[in-house]
């Protein structure tokens, strides 16, 4: 997959807010939005949330995929890599935006928040 052009700052914020709102509406917990641009050369944003079941993870992923279709972002299907709701970690790769939907156990074990602690946290309401 070739690298996609960067979104405009306004478009980027709209995408982040869209994903964040879906996570809130679907009752996700511990939602974190990390701006990785200053700490990594090719990653831009991680959106991380905690879910309590595979059913909830599937619902969140389905809504995010549906909502982001209109933005025409490149989407790399990652279920083949073993990161699926049944494993406790669903990963959606939209190039500039990587969405991590994790069970509490996976979130604690992999601790992405600590791993990327140098990244700027973005507060969205």
To the nearest whole number, what is the mean pLDDT of the chain?
87
Mean pLDDT over 25-44 rounds to 91
What domains are there in the chain, each with its CATH number? Answer: 28-116 (3.30.460.10)
Tell me which residue of 42, 39, 18 sits closest to 124, measured CA to CA: 18
More confident residue, 33 or 83: 33
Kindly report, residue by residue over 38-88, the tens digit of the pLDDT: 887 777 999 999 999 999 999 999 999 999 998 888 877 654 334 455 789
User: Which is more confident, 101 or 42?
Assistant: 101
Residue 18: count of CB within 10 angstroms of its CB: 17
114: pLDDT strictly greater than 80: yes
Q: Which two tokens stand for residue 51?
A: 């879910």
49 compared with 95, residue with greater pLDDT: 49
HEC letters along 99-114: EEEECHHHHHHHCHHH
């Amino acid at each position: 997959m070739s690298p996609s052009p960067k979104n405009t700052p306004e478009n980027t914020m709209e995408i982040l807010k869209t994903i964040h709102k879906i996570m809130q509406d679907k009752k996700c917990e511990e939602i974190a939005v990390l701006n990785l641009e200053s700490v990594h050369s090719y990653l831009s944003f991680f959106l991380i949330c905690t879910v309590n079941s595979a059913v909830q993870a599937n619902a969140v992923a389905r809504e995010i995929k549906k909502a982001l279709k209109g933005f025409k972002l490149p989407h790399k299907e990652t279920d083949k890599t073993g990161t699926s709701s049944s494993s406790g970690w669903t990963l959606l790769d939209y190039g500039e935006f990587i969405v991590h939907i994790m069970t509490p156990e996976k979130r604690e074990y992999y601790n992405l928040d600590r791993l990327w602690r140098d990244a700027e946290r973005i507060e969205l309401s």
